[in-house]
Structure 1
Amino acid sequence: MNTISNRTFLNYIGGQWIASVSNETEGSINPASRHETVGFVQKSVQADLDQAAAAAKQASRAWGRLSGAARGEWLYKAANALERRLEEVAEMMTREMGKTYPEAKGETARGVAILRYYAGEGMRRVGDVIPSTDSEGLMFTTRDPLGVVGVITPWNFPVAIPVWKIAPALIYGNTVVFKPAQETAVTAALVMECFHEAGLPAGVVNMVTGRGTVIGQGIIDHPDIQAITFTGSDKVGKQVGLGALKRGAKYQLEMGGKNPVIVAADADLDLAVEATISGGLRSTGQKCTATSRVIIHAEVYEVFKRKLLDKVNTIQLGSGLDGSTWMGPCASQSQLDTVLGYIEQGKQEGAVLLCGGKKPAAAQLQDGFYVEPTVFDGVSREMTIAQEEIFGPVLALMKVDSLEEAIELANDVKFGLSASIFTRDIGSMLSFIREMDAGLVRVNAESAGVELQAPFGGMKQSSSHSREQGQAAIEFFTSIKTVFVKG
């Protein structure tokens, strides 16, 4: 592994690496070892954002006039650059965000695949011929790019989420101003270096690092940014939507989840246990699709609980760069405090703590933002830990007497992102698929599986009811133009 330490990363604007006009930087730390700084990033101000938006606007028309095939060639080059640097980017992701190195490698490889997928989308159709009532006319649709797109991304997937927004934005002819989460801005800068190595025209893609209250809000309010795609908390997402609506910008929001897994009486319990642990605790539970509520039929409740606890109690905590580690730290002190706060609230509201629930005692873990994998029993639907997104390694067990009760309980939250069920009965599967209010439903598989070629998004307050990834991305990143031609 090649280690990058204490390097200062600049903003990327108009094809150049540029320091912020503020002359201020801030360090990004390793959540597994809080005294290690992995690099420094710019603490940008409005003037930096204005410069990036101007560069994107200037590049927009020429980029939009290129053929999809030509734009796709640059995405292929970016994919190749990211693939060449896969291990370097993955190591930095682990050091900066905390997820295990195998998970980071998998995410980076997914970024490569997403770039190649959208490179190919440049050769697909963008419209339809529509019969006209005028026999001498030709009517058809085509699609125009939106212009400059603001991309605001979270820290939990610092490669995959930016790439699955930037790649379709670019292939459909838009230019980009990208604001990554400051907690993982070093990893984002390495990804941006791959776009630079690909040789994209100046201004087509730009990155400005800084606080959400400054750069994020600046993107929301900027008159030269025609659309905003955001992934993050529902609270901030609503602010993005309101701000964009106020000035007539198009917006796309992917927000929180409180994702259930239903374990039916006829489920393969060993499979359900493995999927619950993987879906709920990998990446330290820091996934919008992570399993949070485990809704179990009373007939198998005690057996499932015993099997689950036996597995959870074997989980190895540690640095993601240690090959023996199964679960790394929370991404930041703030996130650790949030998770511990929810755990305490669960105890105060009467949930029974079965395991975990605190920072680990091991001496070698004291310097990181670690929390033990946590399982609660006796959780009722009105409890905070059954309603609010925790974004940490916390599972809430809930007992039901029927499939109908399980589905009703699963739907009894404001979110509707993902859900899964474990059953052998085809009727139960079909009832779950039909009745579950979630944008992603999975049968006999964990809730956290997302494939790049399929539409992704949520119902209720999990999204703005748009979809990302796959061919669905064209709906957000373009506007339909209807054309009528008469000779």
Structure 2
Amino acid sequence: MAAQQRTNYCNGEWVESESTETFTVTNPADQSVIAEFPKSTAADAERAVQAAVDAQDAWANTPGPERGAILRRAAGLLEDRADDVAETLTREEGKALAEASGEVQRAVDILYYYAEKASDLAGDAKAPSGRDSRLRTVTEPVGVVGLITPWNYPIAIPTWKAAPALAAGNAVVLKPASQAPTVVHELTKCLDEAGLPDGVFNVVTGSGSEVGGTITSHEAIDAISFTGSSAVGEIVRDSASETGARIQLEMGGKNPAVVTSSADIDEAVDIVGSGAFGVTGQACTATSRAIVHESVYEEFVDGLVEYAENLEIGPGLEADMGPQVTESELEGTLEYIEVGNEEGATLETGGGVPDLDADGHYVEPTVFSDVESSMTIAQEEIFGPVVSVIPVSDFDEAVAIANDSQYGLSASVITDDLSQANRFVDDVEAGVVKINEKTTGLELHVPFGGMKNSSSETWREQGDAGLDFFTTSKTVYLNY
């Protein structure tokens, strides 16, 4: 069957790229073709930016409740199509269907959430110091925004960036990841059918250097929100500094889960296992390091090995753990496993390609023990289902090793000791801290972001913090 031909979305229309070149999106479970997308040019990105510029003032002047009503209609449309969109997500990205369904529902919930928030963006009244006067603030959109999103949450992350941007009255240009852009098109269809005005939301597919580079360096872009690798994030930061655009960068992670001597080990195994192997380990918040007190170390390792070996690997429509998204991602994971062996860590289970009757990018869930914090597999982000188990002799050592990383995104402690739980919250260097919960999984109404090389440490995403990034304010003094 011929691949479905997709186009860009610009100024309220599905339009052909100026380029005749395309790229193919394939199912990582079996290499079947999902669709073909335009390998767009800088001119295509320029056209999308101009459409957003032309639409910006009218959208900013649209009453907040009216903007919210459009987001609410889009949420309902996406909710009606959730099963089909989830299956599409699994086919193009690879994650298990239950995980894909949860992600699509998250996008629905985000749209509903910001639909309501759109009515509350007028500003605040303040008490003036003098008589016969009024003092207030006025909230306004920042302008035209560029969004660059990753493949691992290909509908949730675009939605949690686009929804607050649109709710606040900004016009948007979005470049989705080339590995999994199809579900962004499904989101776009919902926004279009919900009545979003022409030019307010634009989608351009293509390379990061050509399309992404045009967006991030464009003088008309007022703010840039990026999620992806730290290396690319630094390029985005440098580009934005040339134009003065506001930036929001969410990047890598090397997330620790500390297991204390008081922890319920069965619970700890479930928490670490789901955090490490869920979504095939392809999450910036995935649990990558288990830092375990020596008194429960062997019991924990045995339990985690059993957890990994009981996972069913296969196509995401059928199994517990699907493939990695591309061959290059699989090769990168296998290279890190080889490095772990060479550096002297003990490979407890996994480490190879499973023997499956499928031509996909599969890797076994992998557990290393006897890992030292200085080892490469304990320092560099792997972005695959690999967890390093590190023994420690006390709680202070555990926290020190948790902080021994260039990253600081998410961290967890599993303990029945209230004192240690609170000390962990105080001392760990992470933007998201969890007690007796896995490092993955986020509530949509609270801030999300990291520290150190995990983030620009400027504005957080989600909740009211997500709106802060996409708005600016005026202070109004009235003397009557």
2:102 to 102, 106, 113: 106
Distance 1:21 1:109 in 2: 35
Q: Give 1:43's aligned residue.
A: 39
Q: Give 2:351's aligned residue.
A: 357
Q: Deviations over 1:136-173 (max 9, x none)?
A: 33221111111110010000001100000000000001
Q: Give 1:160's aligned residue.
A: 156
- Aligned-pair distance for 1:471? 1.0
- Aligned-pair distance for 1:339? 0.7
Distance 1:153 1:5 in 2: 27
Q: Give 2:474's aligned residue.
A: 481
1:383 to 375, 388, 402: 375
**Residues 338-417 of structure 1: pairs in structure 2 closer than 5 A:** 338-362=332-356, 364-365=357-358, 367-417=359-409
Stretches (4+) displaced over 4 A: none
Distance 1:5 1:342 in 2: 37
Matched, 1:20 2:17: yes
Partners of 1:265 and 1:300 within 8 A in 2:
yes
Q: Deviations over 1:357-394 (max 9, x none)?
A: 111123x13x1001111111111111111111111000
Partners of 2:121 and 2:139 within 8 A in 1:
no
Structure 2 unaligned residues grouped into runs of 5+: none
- Aligned-pair distance for 1:199? 1.7
Opposite residue 339 of structure 2, the aligned amino acid is Q
Distance 1:120 1:240 in 2: 31
- Aligned-pair distance for 1:5? 7.1
- Aligned-pair distance for 1:23? 2.0
1:263 to 246, 255, 259: 259
> Normalised by the size of structure 1, how large is the TM-score?
0.97
Opposite residue 305 of structure 1, the aligned amino acid is V
Distance 2:75 2:6 in 1: 21
Opposite residue 181 of structure 1, the aligned amino acid is A
Compare 5-14 and 290-299 and name the one that shifted more: 5-14
Opposite residue 409 of structure 2, the aligned amino acid is L
2:57 to 38, 56, 61: 61
2:325 to 318, 322, 331: 331
Distance 1:192 1:138 in 2: 42
Partners of 1:5 and 1:38 within 8 A in 2:
no
Structure 1 unaligned residues grouped into runs of 5+: none
Q: Deviations over 1:151-201 (max 9, x none)?
A: 100000011000000000000010100100011012211211111111210
> Normalised by the size of structure 2, how large is the TM-score?
0.98
Partners of 2:64 and 2:121 within 8 A in 1:
no
Partners of 1:40 and 1:186 within 8 A in 2:
no
Opposite residue 470 of structure 2, the aligned amino acid is F
Opposite residue 9 of structure 2, the aligned amino acid is Y
Partners of 1:351 and 1:378 within 8 A in 2:
yes
How many residue pairs align between the two structures?
479
Opposite residue 339 of structure 1, the aligned amino acid is T
Compare 474-483 and 262-271 and name the one that shifted more: 474-483
- Aligned-pair distance for 1:134? 4.0
| Distance 1:170-1:125 versus aligned 2 partners, 3 A rule | closer
- Aligned-pair distance for 1:213? 1.0
Partner SS, residue 12 of structure 1 = strand
Partner SS, residue 119 of structure 2 = coil
Matched, 1:298 2:290: no
Opposite residue 110 of structure 1, the aligned amino acid is R
Partners of 2:94 and 2:324 within 8 A in 1:
yes
CA RMSD after TM alignment: 1.2
Matched, 1:146 2:142: yes
Compare 56-65 and 304-313 and name the one that shifted more: 304-313
**Residues 189-200 of structure 1: pairs in structure 2 closer than 5 A:** 189-200=185-196
Opposite residue 341 of structure 2, the aligned amino acid is K
Q: Deviations over 1:301-338 (max 9, x none)?
A: 0011111111211111100111xx11000000111111
Q: Give 1:462's aligned residue.
A: 454
2:30 to 20, 33, 42: 33
Opposite residue 45 of structure 1, the aligned amino acid is T
Identity over aligned pairs, percent: 47
Opposite residue 124 of structure 1, the aligned amino acid is D
Q: Give 1:221's aligned residue.
A: 217
1:241 to 232, 237, 240: 237
